Structure 1
Amino acid sequence: MESNKKVCPLLKDPSKYNPDTVDLINDLNERSFWFKCLLEMVKNFIKRAGILNPDNPEAKQIAEKCFHSFKSLIDQLHHDPTILNPLSIRTLLEFNERKLRENNFKDAWLHQKHKENEMAFTQFPHRIKQIDNILDESLKWEQIAKGVLAGNMFDWGAKAVTDILEESKEFGLQQAMDTIQSRPWFKDTLDKWVFKIQTTPYKMTIIFVDNAGVDFVLGILPFARELLKQKTKVVLSSNSSPALNDITHIELKQCLEKASKHCQIIRDALNSELLIAMENGQDGPCLDLTKLDEDLCQLCNEADLVILEGMGRAVHTNLYAEFKVDSLKMAVLKNEWLAKSLGAEQFSVIFEYVPVS
């Protein structure tokens, strides 16, 4: 598979590109925190494994086996951090996902994602009607952007969020909007984005999407739909392999088919190939732009905008990535340690639009 991976042609300077934001090799404090944080995340999966995989009677035992594999790696890394190269949040998460797949968890969160997609689609017609009823274009784009950011709260890889989701079954998009930071955001170039989108629509954008459920259905789809209304070609790119509750390529196509039954704009865009689903070649919840699917790279050559959504793709990786074309990074900082290391607070918002200078 690696032979089919290519460097994203949209990177400004591939030779200087480093996907990883946090240095776990040289910063002992960062390494100690993230080892503990990720160990806790992997261990917490054990108690959920049986519920998430009701058809697998050995789910809990397999989850325990995977945890011990992960813990063994962490123990070794404490003594010699160079044995995993590169050592980063990205590569540790990829290691965990590989272990899950190797031990018969083909998609550990499949049932949960299906449940959340179904729930989100019950609200999808109301959500797009709500957006269409906003006559002021600036306010409309603000509402759409807030929807993407609030949708990104539905991330089972973030402890601060899982605590909320487990405590409240009523937590939905509106509750998430009330939880995230109010404007002005930590990084807030929304007004610049609105001006650009109103004056010069894009020809084609690549959107690297994140979670299933509310995130994709109520956040990303309305965002993409608004771009489609401007005749922008939209390529939605999702994981090739399962990772946490991230939407996979297969699920993305299923969701688009379902959305097309609710929305004429999406239906027409799919039929005319103005809206396309592409896999990104990744097998973890982060994004290494030097290892993209070859077919996606071909399409990237035509894009004049790249959008990165979610902590895994826009914060843990690619926070400092520079592009040859305009870029937009959207995420909510759901980890307090990471937020403070960036000079922000937990649930602060990154909405960073960077036009090519």
Structure 2
Amino acid sequence: MESSRLQLVRFSLLMDDTDTHTYKPCSIPMRFPSDDPTVPTPTELSWINLLYGGIPSYRKHAENDTTVPDAASRAELFAQRYAKILEDLKKDPASYDDPVDISDEENAKAISLFENVVSLNDAIEDEGKRLENLVRGIFAGNIFDLGSAELAEVFSRDGMSFSTTCENLLPRPWIVDDLDALKMRWSKKSWKKASVVLIFVDNSGADIILGVLPFARELLRRGSQVVLAANDLPSINDVTYSELIEIVSKLKDEEGRLLGVSTSNLLIANSGNGLPVIDLTKVSQELNCLASDVDLVILEGMGRGIETNLHALFKCDSINIAMVKHPQVAEYLGSRLYDCLIKYKEV
């Protein structure tokens, strides 16, 4: 896999464990030291099979690319090569990493819905209810994931209905449900005003545009500085640093505002990452410098907030927020598939 060109360093807001080395990025163990390195573990095998199941969806996206004259033949070639990679991984788990394929279609759809989503949020006068609606919006945006074969197929068949998704989230209590605790502290914490909030973002499309950005806009409106940390390199449909800059540029008006809210305190940072998960001992120096004054860290999405960093300890307040989209993760957590998780840790 292509690696980041940036020099990577340890994230400064991780609790200092130089002596104990207690920080482990992976929340769900894929293998143990006693496992045979030449044989995939049951967990690894389940992920390989999951990726294999996504091939028809990836191939369909590639076939529909009108910018490529021979899209159909290239898509078929991709499907064959990808299948071979996965078969090789079954024989040797250390063989490869998985490839990338993404389009701008979901971004365009989500941008067209942004104003309506924000207007509905702004119309909620009660601060706690507005926060809950924004949180539900993050879950609704996060549900679409090209890395989930089941969700990709549903999206392809039924299209994207953001409001319906918000209404049809699984009922509370969720598998980890600290929403009420967060609501109680929302208006009281030091990060209400003149604070810095760092959000590690996940997917492009509805996730970033209809989920995260309305939430970030609310923080900006309350007087916070917001840093959005995005991947350096593409991975599945994770939003990249350059892509996020373009998205925000399209959403801003001529005065640089997001529907009436100034973006002068909105920063977009390159995390240095190129995976759908993140190891916080390897982040860009730019991000680490921006983190020095952060009051709240938010890890959004299943890869960054559950599969990695669910148990990470920070020097500041933190929130893990994601939807459980894979059966393997649901089994590990003991949750329902498509359950929601919001973990708030106060220091």
TM-score class, shorter: 0.7 to 0.9
Amino acid at match of 2:336: E
Aligned to 1:166: 156
Partner residue of 2:22 out of 9, 16, 29? 16
* 8 Å Cα contact 2:28/2:332 also seen in 1: no
- SS of residue paired to 2:54: helix
The answer as to 2:45 corresponding to 1:32 is yes
Count of residues in correspondence between the two structures: 327
What fraction of aligned residue pairs are identical, expressed as a percent? 30
**Conserved 8 A contact 1:205-1:305:** yes
Aligned pairs for 1:1-357 (under 5 A) are: 1=4, 4-14=7-17, 15-26=21-32, 28-42=41-55, 44-52=57-65, 54-55=67-68, 57=70, 59-60=74-75, 61-77=77-93, 83=94, 95-97=97-99, 100=100, 108-109=101-102, 112=103, 114-169=104-159, 171-202=160-191, 203-261=195-253, 264-265=257-258, 269-270=262-263, 272=264, 274-356=265-347
Shift in alpha-carbon separation, 1:178–1:134, aligned structure 2, 3 A:
closer
**Higher relative helix content:** 1
Q: Deviations over 1:238-278 (max 9, x none)?
A: 111111111111111111112222983577643x3x10001
Question: For the residues of structure 1 that align with 2:125 and 2:116, how far apart are their CA atoms?
Answer: 16
Is the Cα–Cα contact under 8 Å of residues 140 and 169 in structure 2 kept in the other structure? yes
Match of 1:243, as an amino acid? Answer: S
Query: What whole-Å deviation, never above 9, does each CA across 1:315-340 have from its counterpart, x for those lacking one?
Result: 12111111111000110101123212
SS of structure 1 residue aligned to 2:53: helix
Letter of the aligned partner of 2:281 in structure 1? Answer: T
Contact conserved, 1:201 with 1:232, CA < 8 A, in 2? no
Please tell me the residue identity of whatever aligns with 1:22.
Answer: I
Query: What's the RMSD between the two structures over aligned residues?
Result: 2.2
Q: Indicate if the aligned counterparts of 2:198 and 2:296 stay in contact, CA closer than 8 A.
A: yes
Q: Per the alignment, do residues 266 and 253 of structure 1 end up closer, same or farther by CA in structure 2, a change over 3 Å counting?
A: farther
1:80 corresponds in structure 2 to none
TM-score by length of 1: 0.85
Q: Identify if the C-alpha distance between structure 1 residues 183 and 149 changes in structure 2 by more than 3 Å, giving closer, same or farther.
A: same
Offset at residue 52 of structure 1 (A): 4.4
Q: Where does structure 1 lack aligned partners over 5 or more consecutive residues?
A: 78-82, 85-91, 101-107
TM-score (norm 2): 0.87
Deviation at 1:55, TM superposition (A): 1.6
Residue 29 of structure 1 deviates from its aligned partner by 3.1
Instruction: Supply the AA of the counterpart residue of 1:292.
Output: V
